[in-house]
Amino acid sequence: MNTQKVTIADVAKRAGVSKGLVSFALNDRPGVSPETRTRILAVAGDLGWKPSLRARSLSTRRSFALGLVVARNPEVLGSDPFFPSFIAGVESILSDRGQALVLSVVPSEEAEIRSYRQLVDDGRVDGVFLTDLRHDDPRIPLLTELGLPAVTLGRPDGPSPFPAVSIDDTPGIAESVAYLARLGHRRIAHIAGSSTMLHGTRRRDAFEAALCTAGLPLGQTIETDFSVAAGSDATRRLLTREDAPTAIVYANDPMAIAGLGVAHELGIRVPDELSITGFDDIDFSRYVYPPLTTVSATPVVWGRAAATTLLALIETGAADDVNLPAARLIIRGSAAAPAHTRKSAT
Amino acid sequence: MNTQKVTIADVAKRAGVSKGLVSFALNDRPGVSPETRTRILAVAGDLGWKPSLRARSLSTRRSFALGLVVARNPEVLGSDPFFPSFIAGVESILSDRGQALVLSVVPSEEAEIRSYRQLVDDGRVDGVFLTDLRHDDPRIPLLTELGLPAVTLGRPDGPSPFPAVSIDDTPGIAESVAYLARLGHRRIAHIAGSSTMLHGTRRRDAFEAALCTAGLPLGQTIETDFSVAAGSDATRRLLTREDAPTAIVYANDPMAIAGLGVAHELGIRVPDELSITGFDDIDFSRYVYPPLTTVSATPVVWGRAAATTLLALIETGAADDVNLPAARLIIRGSAAAPAHTRKSAT
DNA sequence: CTGAAAGCGCTTACAG
DNA sequence: CTGAAAGCGCTTACAG
């Protein structure tokens, strides 16, 4: 209950020094003799002094907080565990360093821009995480103009003054396609994410490149917004066609799980009559039936790395890009040799 | 780029008044003539003055931010869309009121307590949301001691000085059981959430009461931690028993979806041979097959109400409890008459 | 209705 | 190595 009662002045008086010196001792700055420093710190401890963050903020013009503004629509936000995990990773770094996370969830791109401006106008944060990178992402020039440090998750497609923390998702898609091709599939489709998102396009490009590598004809691709609903619709369209694919590579797990539902509904057995692969390895993926063959993702690791990088950037003014281990294929039960291959093998 | 350059002193000088008066005008306090106020505000507008939140924080001892600390384990956090939606609801209120949300995700109960203490030591927030209420929740005495305003989601089982914003989930469970009983089920089991959580116990109690109302014998109940993995295990245990139930009422959708997977794996058809119901109506629930009969939840509405209440409490020092509309049963495809009933009906 | 001053609790040149 | 003072940009009694 005594909290916030004792101030730097109390410590100074009790230690018989000036407030300035207490501040120097606290911040480990040169100009205080070791003995004096020790004495000051001891007095501070005795008194239970907790330096006021608000006062420090005012004089240092720092907020000791990092920001994350999320502009996903509520549905895809809810069915995708990326953010909870990413945030858990971020927090594991921040909590030990006395930093806080300010989270903003906004419904539109306009609201997103307003949110960033508000954050800097209010001096709420010292830097932000840029997730879900888009093509020619408007946030990069915006933050540059605002002078707010940032770290991007993945490398932007335009010029960027910010360090990037990346996980290459190309190998995961490539492995998925190669695996399906090896099983004997020739009509492989892709249910892609939004083409406004960098990772939507990148996974799609990886899919097409992998098809090419495997010597397979170009497959059908349907673009979605990454939502469960869109994944469901796209699957239905694909499966009710004349030349329905025998395998579908999904750009994320939630859509793949929805696809599983559609297949069940249509009486198409997975993996016997249809193979599917996902992306992200969300918790659900191993508990649906059949368990989903998918690509691992490590959002917690990404969160830690991004937080570490952003903090370094803020403190030192510079930080290197970091490349995290690529996502890999995890083979479970949702893919198998296509029906005709099986028949001819019998 | 001019941001944060112009201060209250500039406005005062330009308007020919004292800083104090500018402050009064800004805060709509009595003691400024209408003309003067208008003139001051006009000057402020011209100059593009944005009052410094940091300076206001220091002198008012307020942070203009609200806190949410989440202590769920990463898995259940990720598969349950409650938090993203709840937060979206909270933000929709906060953003218009110049408030920010500081989010803390912690791995343990000790870390949780430390997090709250840190939040008040640093004066990061003016109040917090208490979610996932537990029995004899230690956070209530803790926050009382710390003097931090809070709002609870649901009513605690012990004494609490804080307003509660509640959604009664009892009717939803009661309706689920009544519906299954009406379909002809007599062996209905419950896969419950954690008994340390108030909503885990409450749903379980509602289940047992509903069974009683329906004149059915006490069903089997298995307690879990609400996770997908636990829901899967519990379902397997139930279905491989001699006296396997013909229907299962799950305490949340993620577990019900895992249950669907187990049933598929065991070759038990849903709903023909097994009926299941969920709780929460998460986005996935309508896209699995068969689509899940479940109970609606409105986390966004809950978020708005909780934010409104907490802000009222902080500003006026008091706020009333609020009761939101109860969750209701949503009938989809995962429940039907039990197999033997069907047979005898043929 | 208005002004001048002190205060919120730190940090940071500037002297010594 | 140390002290006294000014400053960060607001708010808030206190006088008039």
In a domain, A191, yes or no: yes
Summarize the confidence of residues B255-266 as an average pLDDT: 97
Same-domain status, B25 and B161? no
pLDDT tens over chain A, length 346 residues: 344 578 988 888 888 888 888 999 888 888 788 888 888 999 999 999 999 999 999 999 999 999 999 998 877 888 888 999 999 999 999 999 999 999 999 999 999 999 999 999 999 999 999 999 999 999 999 999 999 999 999 999 999 999 999 999 999 999 999 999 999 999 999 999 999 999 999 999 999 999 999 999 998 999 999 999 999 999 999 999 999 999 999 999 999 999 999 999 999 999 999 999 999 999 999 999 999 999 999 999 999 999 999 999 999 999 999 999 999 999 999 999 998 654 443 3
Residues whose CB falls within 8 Å of the CB of residue B275, separated by 6 or more in sequence, listed in order: B180, B183, B185, B246, B247, B248, B293, B334, B335, B336, B338
In the predicted structure, residue B228 carries a pLDDT above the cut 50: yes
In the predicted structure, residue B234 carries a pLDDT above the cut 60: yes
Q: How many angstroms separate the CA of B60 from the C1' of C9? A: 12
**In chain B, what's the furthest Cα-to-Cα distance?**
92
Weakest-pLDDT range from A215-219, B45-49, B75-79, B152-156? B75-79
The total domain count for chain A is 3
Helix or strand holding residue B226 (H, E): none
In a domain, B2, yes or no: no
Same-domain status, A292 and A308? no
In a domain, B1, yes or no: no
Query: What is the DSSP secondary structure assignment for residue B158, as one 8-state letter?
Result: S
Q: Which two tokens stand for residue A192?
A: 């892609």
What confidence score (pLDDT) does residue B3 get?
A: 46
Give tens-digit pLDDT for A311-320.
999 999 999 9
The CA–CA distances, whole Å, from A212 to A185, A208, A328 equal 14, 6, 20
Residue B59, CA: closest nucleotide via C1'?
C8
Distance of CA B331 to the CA centre of its chain: 23
Return the residue matching tokens 């209120």.
B93
The CA–CA distances, whole Å, from A312 to A159, A308, B133 equal 21, 6, 37
CA-atom Rg of chain A in angstroms: 26
Same-domain status, A192 and A335? yes
The answer to whether B2 CB sits below 7 Å from nucleic acid chain D is no
Same-domain status, A45 and A87? no
Check CB contact under 8 Å for B145 and A120: no
Whichever domain contains A86, its CATH number is 3.40.50.2300
What confidence score (pLDDT) does residue B267 get?
A: 95
Minimum-distance CB partner of A58 among B55, B284, B291: B55
Q: Which domain holds residue B291?
A: 170-296+330-345
Same-domain status, B248 and B336? yes
Strand B294-295 versus strand B150-153 pairing type: unpaired
Write phi, then psi, for B275 (nearest 5 degrees): -105, 140
Check CB contact under 8 Å for B284 and A63: no
Q: How many angstroms separate the CA of A26 from the C1' of C1? A: 46
Q: How far apart are CA A62 and CA A76, in angstroms?
A: 34
Strand partners, B100: B65
Comparing CA positions, the residue from B262, B236, B74 lying closest to residue A290 is: B262
Same-domain status, A18 and A116? no
Residue A154 contacts residue A199 (beta carbons within 8 Å): yes
Comparing CA positions, the residue from B155, B258, B233 lying closest to residue B198 is: B155
Instruction: Kindly report the number of other CB atoms within 10 A of residue A341's CB atom.
Output: 15
What confidence score (pLDDT) does residue B260 get?
A: 97
In a domain, A107, yes or no: yes
Query: Which of B101, B105, B143, B226 to probe by mutation at the A interface, max A CB count within 10 Å?
Result: B105
Whichever domain contains B19, its CATH number is 1.10.260.40
User: Residues of A with CB below 8 A from B58's CB?
Assistant: 52, 54-55, 57-58
The answer to whether B55 CB sits below 7 Å from nucleic acid chain D is yes
Q: Under DSSP, is residue B57 helix (H, G, I), strand (E, B) or coil?
A: helix
Q: How many angstroms separate the CA of B163 from the C1' of D14? A: 38
Q: Name the residue type at position A284.
A: F
Phi-psi region of A159 (alpha: psi -120 to 50; beta: other; left: phi over 0): beta
Minimum-distance CB partner of A264 among B81, B147, B289: B289
Q: How far is A329 from chain B (nearest CA, A)?
A: 20
In a domain, A227, yes or no: yes
In a domain, B278, yes or no: yes
Q: How many angstroms separate the CA of A169 from the C1' of D15? A: 70
Q: Which two tokens stand for residue A144?
A: 């540059």
Comparing CA positions, the residue from B307, B339, B305 lying closest to residue B322 is: B305
Return the residue matching tokens 């016997």.
A272
The CA–CA distances, whole Å, from B99 to A9, B95, B124, B148, B293 equal 31, 6, 12, 16, 38
Helix or strand holding residue A279 (H, E): none
Give tens-digit pLDDT for B116-148.
999 999 999 999 999 999 999 999 999 999 999
Minimum-distance CB partner of B102 among A101, A119, A263: A101
